[in-house]
Structure formats: structure tokens, C-alpha cells
Structure 1
Amino acid sequence: MPHLATSAIVCAVRAHGEHGAIVRVMTPHNGLVTGYVQGGRSRHMRPVLQPGNIVQATFRSRTADQLASLTVEMIHSRAPLLAEPLPAAAIDWTCALTAAALPEENGYPALHQALDAVLTAVEAAPAARGWAVALVRYELLLLAELGFGLDLDHCAATGDTEDLRYVSPKSAAAVSAAAAMGYEARLLPLPPFLVRGGEAGWPDILDGLRLTGHFLERGIFVDRRRDVLAARERLLDRLKRAVA
């Protein structure tokens, strides 16, 4: 990618050298792209290079194999939210998940749109009820885009489309209440909002996060990048405190 100019969402920033930073951003059409920002650790650039911010990103490189140089200009800052523990944890996890899970320079327009929607929801309603459902749906979409999608349309055992209550932790397929009888403890609860849509209460939201968490650990974070999952644990801990 010799040259690319696009809006982008900052997802991850890593110090490089004495003054620079390696930055990963999510773009609308090119997916996750990485570049080197000279002076990225400066007082001027630190507020710009915050996860969740929207920037105008310009990448330049001499060859396709070379790490591109990156210049950024602020379009929209979400940095004020980072002073609030719960919104900060949500932004931290969602951006860290995106940066760690996606391959480089593969377009995921639906994921870019969904990521922006989750971050916009966090910004519009810092109270978690306003964005937690969107976060669960984002995790489900990311799993599907990477080939680990859940089959929630019908019961794996009977084919029924009604009264779907559980998900098999092995097959990632829905199971009806009748088919699950006697095996409920071995299955993961399927919250109704993932089948019928609409709003959700906290028990269902937490069940949704447990469901997606199981398949994220099994499919994407198997024996690697455990530090990324620590960001999710911080978010879950703060959510549980908020609803206690």
C-alpha cells in the first residue's frame, strides 16, 4: 500500500524508539492498517493517538513490504470518555479486540461500521445499558467475519426455530428448551435479544457477554494474546460492579 488517505479509528498505539509510535487503525475499506508515526509520543500527538478517536490518516511507503509512515489529524476525539472508568474500559476492550483479532489490510466494512456504532453509543450514553447490547453484537459480528460465527437460527438437534434457549459450547449452534432438557448445565444460555432483537436486562446482557467470551477464547485467543483478554476482564468486572 504505497499511499492511502482515509478516515480511521485509532485502535492500538505502541511506543517505538525514543519518540515514535506504531499505530494500528481501523479504516472503512482497507480494514486494519499499521503505520509509524514520527513523534507519536510527543505532548502534541498523545491526545490524538488515543483508542477510539477518529482521525484522518495518511499512509506512505516505498514498497509493499515496508512499514508505512503515518501522519494523522484529529477528526473527532473521544478522549474525554477515558476519564470515566466504565466507558474507558469499553473503548479499551473494543479497540484492543479489533487490533488483536483482525488480519492486516483485509477489508471489513461491516466491522468498521459496527465498531464506530459501538463507540458512538458509548459516547452518547456512558451508562452501560445504552451500549452493552451493541458491544455483544459487535463481538458476534467479529466472530462471524473471522469464520467463527454462531448458528442461532434453529435448534441443532431438532431444527425447530422456536423457544431457542441455549447454545452448544462445542458446535456453536442453538438448542431449544425441549432438546436441552436434562443437559442445561452443559450448555450456554442464549439471551432472547440475540434471537428476537430489542432491548435487554442485565442478566441477559451478562449472559450474552459470557456467550461471546467463550467463543472468542476458543476461536481467536487460543493460547495467545492473553494480555488482550485482560482488557475484557477489566470491562466485565466494572460492569458487574455497576449493576450490583
Structure 2
Amino acid sequence: MSTDEDIQYREIYATWTLPQTLTAAGVVCVLYLLTVVKFLPNYMKDKKPYSLKTVILLYNVVQVVLSAYNFYLFVVHTFQYGVFPSKCWNDMNQPMVNSILEPIMWYFIAKHLDLLDTIFFVLRKKFNQVTFLHVYHHFIMVAWGWIYYTYFPTDIYVFLAMLNCFVHVIMYTYYALASLGPKYAKYIWWKKYLTTLQLTQFLLIILYLLYHNKTSPCPTSRLLHWYGVSSIAVFFVLFINFYIRSYFRKKIAKDNK
């Protein structure tokens, strides 16, 4: 980033206060919940589902490109500074901090863009896909993003975001192919491995957070640390449950026929 951009990013952090951050995060999260749980379902009650085929295809392509770009930025930073930060940062002018502000910002924006997943489900009347797991996952990621981006935008979370971006490249590639219709089904035979990939991601993130908290010269606060670990642990349990219901139970039912 240029010097002017560095100053701009630093000024953002200097102007946010805790009440402002919590208010902004609260507004976004509450509006999301009200929109996908109440407002949009009521609006769609007597309407036919929208197709949105072209819109969804373009959306998925944008997600793939954005996730790939973020992944690239995080990889570049990781090669330069390492997976495990060896130094504490206490000055926003440090090169390490300035180099990570842009990718964290784009990652933060991407978490808000992800909320459109649910809106598209509702507009297409795919209410079976608006599950607790789906809504909780998007809700927590936005809330988490607000807290960490505003108060702890360091490279401690680069590895986590890098993993997540990689998974999103694979995931939205699948969604893009699936949106093209049945004739492309033969290209997405690997669907069931997506959940395995996500579970592996969550497990690696939990292990990373626990290891970092024990070995880092500048660990995060206990509150932020355990908030992160517990959130990812809940994701892991919910995705395990989804995997069992989606694949093992269906396989058992099929074998018993």
C-alpha cells in the first residue's frame, strides 16, 4: 500500500471506539437476521421463487476471484513474515502491520458479501437451506470480523483467514458449477468432500489458536482467544452433525432398502 493508504487505514482504527464498533456490528447482524428470518420470508410468502441463475453465477464467480485474491495477499504476507508471528506489534507504523491491513480489510468485506448467500436462498424459496448452521455461521463470522478487524488487525489471524479463503475458492467454484445446471453435475462429483475440507479447516484453526496462545510473545486477550476457539468449536460440531445427517444416515437408509 502507498503511504497515503497506510495513513487512511491507521486513521480508521484511531476513530473507532468500542461502543461504535459494537453498535455497527449489532446493526449489521440484527438487520441480517431480521431480513432472512422475517422480512424476506414474509415478502416471498405469496410470490413465486426467483430464478436468479445469472445473478448467482456472477456472484459465485466474484466470490471465487475475491477469495483467490485474498488468499494470494495472505500467502505473500506469510512468506514474508512467517506462519507464527515472532514479534509483537505496538506501533501502527510497523511495516508488518501496514502490509496486513489491506488483505484483512478485503477479507472483512468478503464476510459481509457472504451474507448474500442466505438472501439468495430466501428469494429462491430454498428455505430448507436456511438452517441454523448456515445463519449462525454467517452471523458469527461478521461479528468476529468487526471485533478483530477493529481491535486486533494483526498477522496472528493471517493463517486462519488464508485457510478460509482457500476453502472459499473451492466452495464457490462448486457453487458456480452447480448453478450451471444438471449437465455440469459430472464435474462436481467431489461435493461430499467439501464438508470434509471445512472440518479439516476448523480443526487446523483450533489447533493453531491454542498453539499460538501458548507460544506467542504477544498472545491475544483471554476473552478474544476463547471467543475465537469456542466459535470455531461450535462450527466444528455443527458441521460434523451436518455431515452425519447428509451422508452417513442417507447411506444407512439406502443400504437398508
- TM-score band by shorter chain is 0.3 to 0.5
Greater fraction helix: 2
Give the TM-score of the pair, scaled to structure 2.
Answer: 0.33
Greater fraction strand: 1
Higher relative contact order (CA 8 A, sep 6+): 2
Give the TM-score of the pair, scaled to structure 1.
Answer: 0.35
